[in-house]
Amino acid sequence: AQSVTQLGSHVSVSEGALVLLRCNYSSSVPPYLFWYVQYPNQGLQLLLKYTSAATLVKGINGFEAEFKKSETSFHLTKPSAHMSDAAEYFCAVSAGANNLFFGTGTRLTVIP
Amino acid sequence: EAGVAQSPRYKIIEKRQSVAFWCNPISGHATLYWYQQILGQGPKLLIQFQNNGVVDDSQLPKDRFSAERLKGVDSTLKIQPAKLEDSAVYLCASSLVGGGSTDTQYFGPGTRLTVL
């Protein structure tokens, strides 16, 4: 069975500060891991995905995530937050059948 | 390239009524997914189609939910009769291949259903 846990339902950062959104996964087989972003009243947009190649994955809008098997983590980071980054972020895991299992989401607020 | 289209965007109904949602995936995408996203939760897969066949419907409440994908393109999700707990955003997604690959799923804007 696969699942993800997102630590912190709300995260606030100042504009220009580091963004760190945490995700831990559980999977009985080698996982594929994803981060999606959801802006208000919109669907989900893929930020980045890990598919067993490089453990450091770079995505769109300056985001990146590092797969750490020993810690079962896939945390999302961005060096400098921008106002436009304010949104809800979902971590998801997939194992084989391309069925995504999503976490409960982290709402990011960027303070000017 | 046009994205995943969904309609309606919003729907309000009384409990025990029926409702249907429509999804048009990205052209050429073989796999189509319906997700339910309850407020404060992540999306949960309801059903996955590959072409016009069902791959996974294990989370679909089949006593009241049904879905079809005729001709392997558009899809309709129906709820009959609706319950209060069905209030959610219903998201449609599509991917080029699916079925074991790591294809990116592209999501539509969703239909927000409110059951009163």
Å between B25 CA and nearest CA of chain A? 13
Task: Choose the closest CB to B42 out of A32, A51, A104.
Answer: A104
* Residues A44 and B43: beta-carbon distance below 8 Å: yes
CA dist., res. B56 & res. A99, Å (int):
9
Q: Which of residues 24-43 of B touch A (CB under 8 A)?
A: 31, 40-43
Å between A38 CA and nearest CA of chain B? 10
Q: Which of A43-52, A61-70, B74-83 has the lowest mean pLDDT?
A: A43-52
Which pLDDT belongs to residue A98? 64
Which pLDDT belongs to residue A97? 63
Q: Which residue of A has its CA nearest to B100?
A: A97
Q: Which of B81, B104, B110, B114 is nearest to B7 (CA)?
A: B110
CA dist., res. B45 & res. B1, Å (int):
25
Bond from prior residue into B81 cis (ω within 30 degrees of 0): yes
For residues B48-53, average pLDDT: 90
Confidence of residue A100 (pLDDT cuts 50, 70, 90): confident
